[in-house]
Structure formats: structure tokens, C-alpha cells
Amino acid sequence: MGGHRAGTETVTTQGNTRTIDFEFNDRGRGPKTHTVMSIDAHSVTASLKTDGNDYYKVPVTETFANGTWSNGAESGNGKAGFFVSMYGPPEETGVLARALLAAPNQRLALLPAGEASIRRVGELNVSAGGKTQHITCYEISGLGFTPSPVWLDDRNELFASASSWASTIADGWDSVIPRLLESQDKWHDEAVSQAAARLTHVPAGGGIVITNARLFDPVTMTTTPGTTIVIRGNRIESAGAGIAAPEGLERIDAQGRTVIPGLWDMHTHNSEDDGMLDIANGVTSVRDLANDTDFLLDLRKKYERGAAIGPRIVLAGIIDGPGKFAGPTKVLVDNAEQALAAVDNYAKLGYEQIKIYSSVKPELVPVIVRRAHEHGLRVSGHIPAFMRAEDAVRDGYDEIQHTNFLFLNFWPDVADTRTPIRFTAVAERAALLDLQSAPVKTFLDLLREKKIVIDPTVAIFEGMFTARKGTISPGYAMIADRLPPQVRRGFLTGGLPVPEGMDQRYRDSFRSLLAMVKALYDNHITIVAGTDAMAGFSLHRELELYVQAGIPAAEVLRIATLGAASVMKHDDQLGSIAPGKLADLDIIDGDPSKNISDVRKVVTVIKDGKVYDARAVAGEIGVH
């Protein structure tokens, strides 16, 4: 993960039986499982048993035999098909690939639901440690929104499953991961480019006239019916009631629907899947708060030149300290010289913000802040271990990610926040914190005085604190049926492990997080809407939760449009529908300024003057 070894998978084969031990460490989280699986003559799993713990350290047991499965989150039985386990190891992907290669038409029904197919996309000869290996890349469709690449050796055994975030690869071959990624991208880009050309509509005549629109203005937070919006090229020429529609431009009759500025997601970690999810859901701008630098810069270029469909990306570069709890990044600093070099490099690459992560030494925080501010960069992040939020604010932070760090400010005994204790302590204690107490009010005064921005990401805490195994996570309940079957299953796994007798406390603590969001709003502390979760859909849920917290829907819509653009100093170009601004907007079948959930009803998205049918883009990635 992030270029550093994080775990192991060991596969022992005896006849048709495979025994797999798998574990990895991701900042104190991560699964540890023991799997025994038997495979039939067609390479299909005949039986499977997995024991261990999941990513959040919840104990798990999963079984499959004779078409019947059970794993604590789901159970059932079905006709013939390949069972995709919920807690299985990476080796299972290799087994599935072999089964698909052996299957008629290279397609198989999946259990519990769905269908998978496989296609060969390319081959390589790779070398490492004095050895050379011939490998073949295949793409498996049906497991997610987009095809999943997998590399097999000449025995059709799993050689690697690689991505910019995390990879599993045969021991001793780590050094070839960049080449695998480069090749995957090259083969994948052709299909992506073809889809982009098919789904992106460039208006004839050089522009668009949108008529009969209900125009939401985030400046006044009012909606005006009967408006006309004129777009030439990628700019808004005029917008308002009583405007004459120029001849020669394409026309879109909004049919009384609401037109809003394109939405912003201010907390993302972009992957290849995310671009279409964002555009299909009306998200036309995102801020990436940690990613592989080469991957992210390349992805942004693809979006900008139309080689792929996706939002505008504002760059924020992560900096962490070394150690077993380091974040998934190669940018790890242990002294002032390294810290300054990291900031300088991000500035040189055109980044607009620095994100400080949990393992950065507290004494390096002011060093990073000063250099970032010298470059004109904003500074935000987690609160590093052995610091409190108010310390980071006084050291010069401009913004804090995640509501949990606001609560941790009041519990100095929870000092080492590099581990999942930064979640579990808040789940156990947040309900007990009096938000009307003098210490909390003093802290909120400090945030307001220092003009600190807060990125709450409450939707992810809803999942952590209130999702229970076997039921759809509440954040995705409204849209789960629209998603590919294997994606939908992932919402059944539950959240954090809940100690006996603490179920209601965890739920009450989530309500306290929402109450904190309302306190921020009431105290005139700037909020930005970020997700740190599934692209597109999660932003809708984040906005719904702000309304649930007590913020008016129109104000929430302003937060997710002009508010975000203003924080990032892009409000001269984005954030509202006004003459001279870039043409990023959504046509909504409803009025989210009155009912925020209507933000889910995206019909048409215009980004940079180009038009997208939201349903068609969603359908391309298996969303109905």
C-alpha cells in the first residue's frame, strides 16, 4: 500500500484444496483470515470456509458448500454458479479467473447474484531479482462498476492484482508494480476513451440555451422560475428571467426543473471508477485529499482533455510520518528538511493544499504550515497523534478533516490517534460530551476566531457507528438497489465492532456528531461537504445528514456549491450560475433547495459546456 509492504498472503495447495492465510495492516485496521477452499474440475469453488476478522477487526466466519452460503451478513442457497465470498482473500480472484477461462463463452453466473465475464487484454515479460516471468493480463467484469484487472502466470495462477492504492503480487516482484500499472492504464484507456466519446455531447453551434428553468442562486439562496441560461463554449453568457434566447444554439427545455451549480465533493481519493460516478450524480468538481501523485496528475489530464469522463480535480497533497501506522502514501517525512522538501515539491506540481496526516511529528506541524503558507497553499488534515485540535489550530491549520477530531480535542487521555481508537473512542464517548459546556463553547469560539474550515464527513461515521451486519448500511439504503449486485453486497458488512451493551451508545454518539455539525453552523464556522467514501452517491447522503442536523436545505446546497468554490478561491470561475463563469451545472427533477434529497434526481449534467445524460453515464458503469 502506498509503495510500502503492508501484509502477506500465503497459499498452500494440496490436490484440489487451497489453504490461504491473508492479512494486512492499514493504519491499525485490516483483515486477518484463514481460508480453506476446494475447487472442482472446472476450477469453480466447491466449498469454502473462512475464519478470522474483517477490516474493522470484527470476527467473521464464512462458509460455502453445496450451493449454500453463510457469513453473518447474509445467507442463502442458489443454483450453479461461482460463489464470490464476502471475506475471501485475493487468491479467490485468481481462482475466479481460471474458472471463467474454462467456462463456455468465458462467462459464469455468480452467487449470491450477478454474472462475471473475462477478456484477455495483454501480456508482458517482467524481470526482478535475476528472474524473468511471462504474465498475462485479464479484465474481469461483473465484480464492480468497472472491469477488474488481474495478472496470471503461464500456469494461470495469480501473479498480481495491482492498483495505485494497493497491490497483491507474488513475493519478490514488488519492483514491477509500476510497469503493471502503466500497462493496465494503456489497455484500459482505449475503452475509457471510447466511452467518453460516446457519452459526451459537444453542442452544435458552439453553445446551449436552457429554457423554462427554475434557477437556484447560492448567493441569495433563492430559486427563480421561468429563467433562461445561455452558454457559449464553456462559459455562461447570461442567466435570468426575461432573457431572449439567441438563435443557432442547441436548446434544452428544462421543463420547470431546478438548475443548480455543479456540486463539489471536498474530500475524495480518486480512482478510475470515480469519474463517471461523480458526473452521473451531478458532482462536477472534487478536491482530492490524498493519492498517488503520478496517478492523480495523469487522471486529471485525462478528464481535462476529454479522454475520460470525470470532474474537475483540485489537488491537495498528503504528508505523513513513517511507521506502522503511516497512511498509504510515499510522502513520509521524519525531519524538517524532508518536510520542507515535500511541501516544495507539491507546490511545484501545482497543488493548492497540504494535508497533514496522523503520524506527522507534532514539532513538524508548524514547519509544514509556514512553508505551505509561503507558497500560498492551504493546510488541513487529521490532528496528528499526541496533539489536540486546538494545538493544530494555533499552529496555523486552515481546516480540519473529520468531525471525530473535534471530539477528541476534549479527551487528552486518547493521545495516540494513529490507530482506530480515533473512531472507537468517539463512538463510545461522543454522546456524553455536553456541547453546551464552557470548554466546547471556548473551542468553537477559537475555530470561529481563526476562521477554521471544517470538513465533517459525517456520512462515513454514520456507517461506522450505526451500520449493523446483515442490513444495508443506512447511507446507501436509498440507492443500493440501483447498484451492481456485488457492490450492493458490500453494504451488508456493518461498521465498527460494537461492544456488548453499547449499541444504543454508538447510535447516540452519531447523533452527537450531527449536533456538532449544527453547532458549527450556528457559530458561523465554515463547513465544506466532503465524503471520503463512494463517489457521487455519498455526497448526496452527506448533504441529507446536514439537513437532518438542522441546517436549512438551501444553505446546505450553498455549502456544496458556492461555499466550496469560495473556500478554494475558485468562486470567480465556479460555484454559481452567472455571466462569465464556467458552465458547470445540473438539471434536477425536483427542488433540492426545499427537499435536499431531490439532489439525487439528476437528469442532465453540464461540465465545461459539455452535456451528459446522467442516466446514460450511470448505466455505463452498471447503475440503473
Per-residue cell: 393: 489550530
Please tell me the predicted confidence (pLDDT) of residue 164. Answer: 85
Cis peptide before 497 (omega within 30 of 0): no
Mean pLDDT of 508-536: 98
Mean pLDDT of 463-487: 96
Mean pLDDT of 410-436: 97
Please tell me the predicted confidence (pLDDT) of residue 11. Answer: 97
Crossing angle of helices 365-374 and 336-348, rounded to 10°? 30
Buried b (16+ CB within 10 A) or exposed e, 549-560: bebebbbbbbbb
- Is it the case that residue 14 has pLDDT exceeding 90? yes
Instruction: Work out the percent of the chain whose per-residue pLDDT is above 90.
Output: 96
Average pLDDT, the chain: 96
Compute the distance between CA of residue 72 and CA of residue 67 in angstroms, rounded to an integer. Answer: 16
Please tell me the predicted confidence (pLDDT) of residue 328. Answer: 86
- Is it the case that residue 110 has pLDDT exceeding 90? yes
Reported as type and span, the H/E element at residue 223 is: strand 222-232
**Which residue has 481546516 as its cell numbers?**
399
Let me know the angle formed at the C-alpha of 373 by 372 and 376, rounded to the nearest 5 degrees: 95
- Is it the case that residue 216 has pLDDT exceeding 90? yes
Mean pLDDT of 481-499: 94
CA 421 to chain centre: 22
Q: Are 609 and 203 in contact (CB under 8 A)?
A: yes
Please tell me the predicted confidence (pLDDT) of residue 80. Answer: 86
Per-residue pLDDT band for 79 (boundaries 50, 70, 90) equals: confident
Mean pLDDT of 61-70: 96
- Is it the case that residue 515 has pLDDT exceeding 90? yes
Compute the distance between CA of residue 436 and CA of residue 523 in angstroms, rounded to an integer. Answer: 12
Question: pLDDT tens, 579-588?
Answer: 999 999 999 9
Continuous H helices in 48-125? 91-102
Please tell me the predicted confidence (pLDDT) of residue 197. Answer: 97
Question: pLDDT tens, 373-421?
Answer: 999 999 999 999 999 999 999 999 999 999 999 999 999 999 999 999 9
Question: pLDDT tens, 21-44?
Answer: 999 999 999 999 999 999 999 999
Compute the distance between CA of residue 462 and CA of residue 512 in angstroms, rounded to an integer. Answer: 11
Q: What is the largest CA-CA distance in the chain?
A: 78
Closest CA to 265 of 216, 310, 317, 329: 310
Question: pLDDT tens, 330-339?
Answer: 999 999 999 9
Per-residue pLDDT band for 3 (boundaries 50, 70, 90) equals: confident
Please tell me the predicted confidence (pLDDT) of residue 133. Answer: 96
Instruction: Work out the percent of the chain whose per-residue pLDDT is above 70.
Output: 100
Question: pLDDT tens, 596-606?
Answer: 999 999 999 99
Continuous H helices in 376-481? 389-394, 404-408, 421-429, 438-449, 458-466
Strand 107-111 to 82-83 pairing:
parallel
Compute the distance between CA of residue 82 and CA of residue 95 in angstroms, rounded to an integer. Answer: 10
Please tell me the predicted confidence (pLDDT) of residue 273. Answer: 86
Per-residue pLDDT band for 154 (boundaries 50, 70, 90) equals: very high
Compute the distance between CA of residue 206 and CA of residue 306 in angstroms, rounded to an integer. Answer: 17
